[in-house]
Amino acid sequence: MKRRLEITAEPIDEAVLLRERSISRSMGAVVYFLGVVRGTEAGTNISALDYEAFQRMAEHQISLLFDELEKRWPLESVRLVHRVGVVKVSEPSLWVEVAAPHRGEAFAACQWLIDQLKQVAPIWKKPVAGDSPLATGL
């Protein structure tokens, strides 16, 4: 299974990620997920989320998830990009893609990976209020 993992402070460029997609003739399904920052957090309006990661551990833990993915489903590839730092509302913070022979396994694998990521990856988010200096700098 081909793997690509990035934890980056750079904006997630969906167009580039889509252009870089490479799948073989035997793949019939590509499922991808884009997580974006919602405008509210715990009922309060926000302008952004400030993501922090324990990067080395997050990379290791996500690699372990990739190992488990490979055991569970016949995927050809997985790509995951998680942004860190300040991410504005409606901007992407997470991009996940899997390629599989059939849609059932592609949907299941993608959902599983995201659910597990949320439980194990040492990444945290702090809401940025609209009047915060972090927000005005955006």
Partner 1 sequence: MRVTVGFYSWFKDLTGCGRLTETLPAGSTVDELLQRLIVRFPELSAAQRSTLIAVGVDYQDRRCVLKEGDEVSLFPPVQGG
Indicate which single residue of 31, 120, 129, 134 sits in contact with partner 1 (rule: CB under 8 A): 120
Q: Taking contact as CB under 8 A, which single stretch among the options 69-77, 101-109, 117-125, 128-136 is the one that binds partner 1?
A: 117-125
CA distance 121 to 39: 23
**One-letter identity of residue 120:** V
CA distance 127 to 138: 14
Complex with partner 1: residue 79 or 82, whichever CB lies closer: 82
CA distances from 44 to 37, 40, 67, 82 (A): 13, 5, 38, 24
Least distance in Å: CB of 24 to partner 1? Answer: 28
- Using CB under 8 A as the binding rule, whether residue 124 contacts partner 1 is answered as yes
Query: Can you give the binding site for partner 1, defined by CB under 8 A?
Result: 35, 51-54, 56-61, 82, 93-94, 114, 117-126
